[in-house]
Amino acid sequence: MLGYNKGILIEKSTVQRIVRNLGYSRQKNRKMEQVGNPDPDRGVQFEFIHSETDKSLRDGIPVISVDTKKKENIGNFKNDGTEYRASKQPRMVSDHDFFIPELGKIAPYGIYVLNNNAASVNLGTSADTGLFSVESIRRWWYTVGMENFRYADRIVVTCDCGGSNGSWNRLWKLALAELAEEIDKEIEVIHYPPGTSKYNKVEHRLFCYISKHWQGKPLVDVQTVVNLIQSTTTENGLSVACMLDKNVYETSIKVTDESIDAIDIEYTGPHHGWAYIIKGFKL
């Protein structure tokens, strides 16, 4: 393709080369500008996260970063991205993306282990609730964590401030207390400040690679999703286990004040509510 530059006819590739030599390149938008005013405790909370996780890693304590990936409809739907196929033979998918009750949706709950660059995904087919979040951690502990960290006295969990594992989610805290009693381990939870979920390590050390791995591939059924997640790897040695969770999780479960008061919880960190240690239930 030819173009004019000050009356001189040049190739498009020449323009591209000149633009690159001037220091320009094509770049994606990056979500960095925060909407609203940042919380005044944001900086000190990040310092607390770094110091607590760094010390725990040195002491051999498991540090896991957790969150629920975006829900996906199951079916022969377009999945953003490209894949290698025979020339001029694209995969044919439905012309509209819509929820099909018979096929359902999936909610991948990711658990990234900072200690050894390993991850687990609990693939839920029901609602994303506090019970689902804690069940995901429970499954990770019994399948992987218990063998690797049997002598640790606690588990450190870093997560977002909102959602099913949010700092004000009562069901999340109650279920964590039950898990702490069950496995006889303290569970230390440290939340990222509101609006900073992109810094949660599960996002950029696990979920981004899953999305890249399955790009262009329709999520036609649940087993396909499991296979795609389990086969996700990186040059840095990331390994991912995936288990299917067919439990049905009720929504809108009310947790009473009495149940919350019974939890043996110690609040820590610079901001009350963003970090706490759950030890089980009070005697």
Burial of 173 (0-12, 13-18, 19+ CB in 10 A): buried
Q: Is residue 10 part of a domain?
A: no
Q: What is the mean pLDDT of residues 120-135?
A: 97
What distance in Å separates the CA atoms of residue 226 and residue 266, rounded to the nearest whole number?
A: 37
Q: What is the pTM of this model?
A: 0.86
Provide the CA 62 distance to its chain's centre, in angstroms.
17
- Across the chain, what does the average pLDDT equal? 91
Residue partners of 147: CB distance under 8 A and separation at least 6: none
Q: Is residue 20 part of a domain?
A: no
φ and ψ at residue 259, rounded to 5 degrees:
-65, -40
Q: Is residue 68 part of a domain?
A: yes
Tell me, what's the pLDDT at 18?
A: 82
Give me the number of domains the chain comprises: 1
Q: Is residue 120 part of a domain?
A: yes
Tell me, what's the pLDDT at 31?
A: 57
Position of tokens 């110091």?
51
- Out of 16-20, 24-28, 57-61, 118-122, pick the least confident: 24-28
Tell me, what's the pLDDT at 2?
A: 52
Instruction: pLDDT band for 248, please (50, 70, 90 cuts).
Output: very high
Position of tokens 């009495």?
258
Q: Is residue 6 part of a domain?
A: no
Q: What is the pLDDT of residues 183-224, one digit of tens each?
A: 999 999 999 999 999 999 999 999 999 999 999 999 999 999
Q: What is the mean pLDDT of residues 229-258?
A: 96
φ and ψ at residue 181, rounded to 5 degrees:
-65, -40
Residue 273 clears pLDDT 70, i.e. is over it: yes
What distance in Å separates the CA atoms of residue 11 and residue 17, rounded to the nearest whole number?
A: 10
Tell me, what's the pLDDT at 235?
A: 93
Q: Is residue 30 part of a domain?
A: no
* Residue 224 structural domain: 39-281
Position of tokens 């790897």?
233
CATH number at residue 186: 3.30.420.10
Instruction: pLDDT band for 86, please (50, 70, 90 cuts).
Output: confident
What distance in Å separates the CA atoms of residue 161 and residue 171, rounded to the nearest whole number?
A: 14
Burial of 164 (0-12, 13-18, 19+ CB in 10 A): buried
Q: Are residues 62 and 115 in contact, defined by beta-carbon separation less than 8 angstroms?
A: yes
Q: Is residue 235 part of a domain?
A: yes
Q: What is the pLDDT of residues 22-65, one digit of tens each?
A: 888 887 666 555 545 567 779 999 999 999 999 999 999 999 99
Q: What is the mean pLDDT of residues 151-163?
A: 97
Q: Are residues 218 and 93 in contact, defined by beta-carbon separation less than 8 angstroms?
A: yes
Tell me, what's the pLDDT at 4?
A: 53
Q: Where are the alpha helices (H) located in the chain, listed in sequence order?
A: 12-21, 42-58, 130-140, 146-148, 170-183, 201-202, 208-213, 222-230, 257-261
